[in-house]
Amino acid sequence: MIEYFQILCGITIVLLYLYYHHTSNYDFWKKRNIPGPAPTILFGNLKEIAFKKESMSESVKRLYDEFKHEPLFGIFEATTPTLIVNDLDLIKDVLVKDFPIFADRGLPYYKKVEPLAEHLFFLESERWKPLRAKLSPTFTSGKLKEMFPLIIDCAQHLEEYLDKMIEKQEPIECRELAAKFTTDVIGSCVFGIVTNALSDENSEFREMGRRFLAPCFRTTVRTAIRQFFPRLYVLIGNYIQAVGVSEFFINMVSDTMRYRKKNNIHRPDFINTLMELREHPEKLPTVELTDEFLTAQALVLFIAGFETSSTTISHTLYELAQNHEIQDKLQKEIKQHDEKYGKTLTYDQIKGMKYLEKVFKETLRKYPILPMLPREALKNYTFNGTKITIPKGTKVWIPAFPIHRDPNIYPDPDRFDPERFTEEAVANRHPMSFLAFGDGPRICIGARFANYQVKLGIITILRNHKVDVCKETIIPFKQEPQALLLSLQGGITLKITKM
């Protein structure tokens, strides 16, 4: 009997310790007189995400809507205090004016179980800043003009593939169609290799992209444990990673660099930039340029480049299929361009297509890839015009998705309206009201590349084709809660016909 009592006491002590450990910090915001919702043990204010009842975008928007009249409010990500900044002027302070204080994204990475997580998106500012300076020249206008013929070549393959699909007279899953195109583009422009995603249904590159990001049980478990139980993740993370992805990319990048060096091959792509870094390690004294580190930089561009752009292309098609007057107007601009310049596109000509730019931005307004922009305070910080001070190490979120869907900023926000991005309309809004690529020094490094990749994909599809909804099209839009990035649950299936 005594033994059972001792066991019961032991269990009680352990449970009390766990309860204290998970709740002792839950008065963090109350002590600082910062409003916010009451947290739930273990999950803080993100329980719906943990149980996949909501996507990250939906959860952040729900919280934003509850406290939108506050300049900022506090939540808990599990047990971690996180400040959400609503006020656009304060957002500008965080992203731009006081950037040195918020130069870190504050996103943890676990090198032991994620050998390719040590990349530009996650890196702390001390290593991020010199690395960004060395990688940025890859995405200048001059470099993109050099890459442009590579993207044009992939666009021609996209048109050929699309025509073959249309011959089957079946609805087309546009997210996969766009992903095949962007995989080929990124494969060519980043890695300098032909991935054959459009021509080969068994393309290894495309399969690796699916393994890394496709919603599935493994991805769901990995994401939940990583976010809410990081200590457990460090212990078991090796067993729940996407199978074979790290090994594939490490071998591919290493083999490509070795082959190019041996045969004195030069291409205007990202691998060439990485080779130049390896040849001159003294230019990055704070960074150890291992195969894993170099591959991580290529991998993040591959994943971000193909997935974000393909999602934006498919979301554009989804909206155009429901808004024929917008589709007709865009096709008219494409036709006028062809009549003036011929069907051979150039970098500068796409830059001059004004209505396409409006459609592109309205798609990203309604469907931003990231629901929020994370930052971390590198020292104690008092927000301008307030008495609110946060201590060093506090996590900060900028709620991009809720801002893009705020009716006070964008009236009737669920309506797709490219005219929101006329020069006059943009000038009348706060500069922080559009955050599709972030802002400030840590703005997306590949924003300009994504701009042209997406636009070229849209032009290629719409130039000779019409896009319509069909019985398989899911309306209204319902977010996939298991996806890492904003996407439609069930995919985007449309009817595409030749004009």
Cα distance between residue 181 and residue 416, in whole Å: 25
Which candidate, 196, 191, 270, places its Cα nearest to that of 446?
270
The DSSP code for 94 is: I
Which candidate, 241, 243, 295, places its Cα nearest to that of 270?
295
> Helix axis angle, 174-186 relative to 204-213, nearest 10°?
120
Cα distance between residue 390 and residue 90, in whole Å: 14
DSSP string, 100-115: GGG-B------TTT-T
Residue type, 62: R
Residue 103 tokens read as 């130069």
- For residue 479, what are the β-bridge partners? 488
Residue 86 tokens read as 């609503």
**Do the annotations mark residue 174 as ligand-binding?**
no
- For residue 172, what are the β-bridge partners? 494
Quick check: 440 and 408 in contact, CB under 8 A? no
The DSSP code for 252 is: H
Residue 215 tokens read as 């919603």
Cα distance between residue 177 and residue 385, in whole Å: 49
Using CA atoms of 411, 435, 302, 179 in order, give the dihedral in degrees to the nearest 10. 0
CA separation, residue 377 to residues 164, 286, 393, 453, 470 (Å): 52, 22, 5, 34, 48
CA 374, chain centre distance (Å): 12
Cα distance between residue 174 and residue 182, in whole Å: 12
Q: How many residues does the chain have?
A: 499
Cα distance between residue 113 and residue 350, in whole Å: 42
Extract long-range pairs of 51-54: CB within 8 Å, 24+ residues apart.
52/220, 52/481, 52/482, 53/481, 54/479, 54/481
Cα distance between residue 421 and residue 361, in whole Å: 7
Cα distance between residue 64 and residue 399, in whole Å: 8
Backbone angles phi, psi at 396, to 5 degrees: -130, 135
Using CA atoms of 389, 392, 393, 395 in order, give the dihedral in degrees to the nearest 10. 20
Collapse the DSSP code of 488 into the 3-class scheme (helix H, G, I; strand E, B; otherwise coil) and give the result: strand
Cα distance between residue 235 and residue 495, in whole Å: 47
Q: Annotated binding site for heme: which residue ranges?
A: 444
Q: Annotated binding site: which residue ranges?
A: 444
